[in-house]
Amino acid sequence: MPEAHIVSSYDDELRFLVRRLSEMGGIAERMVADAVAALVNADTASAQRVISEDLLLDAGEREIYDKAVLVIAKRQPMASDLREIIGSIRIASDLERVGDLGKNIAKRVIAVHTMAQPRKLVRGLEHLAELALTQLKEVLDAFATRSPAMANSIRERDEEIDAIYTSLFRELLTYMMEDPRNITACTHLLFCAKNIERIGDHATNIAETVYYVATGEQLSADRPKDDDTASMVAPEPGSD
């Protein structure tokens, strides 16, 4: 087989990984945005659509993993190409988890749509989601341009989402203590807030992967955090 054809085929395989990641990123962004909009508007039909779309991200992650393993076995890539392929696997995993978190929010919509919800707190959740989605969009742009500076900047802003989440967490607890009738609805909103905060964490994970792919170096393990809800009773997203 001519060498030029081999190189072209290898480049096509790498471009396939990038293209599928871009598609997964678009689906993940849409799922989270639609889930939060469904929460704000008590739209159970939209929530059901979000839940069904999660299968697309599951399939995308499997496809990227299978293709990446095949490329490594066939091509035995080195240096930057190997980082690119390993990075694709990592990012696909984070995007799949973002989809899971969006699905979890959508499930809460179905649970709370008939309950009275404090509008101020729902709007607070909407603002938190806007920040998390901005981070997700920007980190996908950083991956597309392989920009370590942009990736590092996104990572440094993670504490902004943590601070808003902590403030929202305290407000929700206050509502529950003031009136026990708020407990059920506010508990669901607490889970939604934690899921959104975790989306920000996954965007930060992707930023660290982008930095590694672009530079071959790992960022410091000391990630900026401003979430002090661990000292309170916080819901665990894994139990959703």
Q: Is position 180 within any domain?
A: yes
How deeply is 7 buried, as exposed, middle or buried, from its count of CB atoms within 10 A (0-12, 13-18, 19+)?
exposed
Q: Please state, in angstroms and rounded to a whole number, the distance separating the CA atoms of residues 96 and 55.
A: 9
Nearest CA to 96 among 46, 28, 39, 38? 28
Q: Is position 232 within any domain?
A: no
Nearest CA to 206 among 219, 195, 190? 219
pLDDT in tens, 137-192: 999 999 999 999 999 999 998 899 999 999 999 999 999 999 888 899 899 999 99
pLDDT at 227 (0 to 100): 59
Total domains in the fold of the chain: 1
Q: Is position 235 within any domain?
A: no
Which amino acid, residue 202?
Answer: H
| Residue 134 belongs to domain with CATH number | 1.20.58.220
Q: Is position 17 within any domain?
A: yes
pLDDT at 114 (0 to 100): 82
pLDDT at 4 (0 to 100): 46
Q: Is position 229 within any domain?
A: no
Question: Hey, is 117 helix, strand or coil?
Answer: coil
Structural domain of 188: 1-215
pLDDT at 141 (0 to 100): 95
pLDDT at 181 (0 to 100): 87
pLDDT at 219 (0 to 100): 86
pLDDT at 144 (0 to 100): 92
Residue-by-residue pLDDT tens, the chain, 240 positions: 444 444 558 788 999 999 999 999 999 999 999 999 999 999 999 999 999 999 999 999 999 999 999 999 998 888 889 999 999 999 999 999 999 999 999 999 998 888 877 777 888 899 999 999 999 999 999 999 999 999 999 999 889 999 999 999 999 999 999 988 889 989 999 999 999 999 999 999 999 999 999 999 988 776 656 556 655 554 444 545
Q: Is position 224 within any domain?
A: no
Q: Is position 101 within any domain?
A: yes
pLDDT at 229 (0 to 100): 62
pTM of structure: 0.87
Q: Is position 8 within any domain?
A: yes
pLDDT at 10 (0 to 100): 79
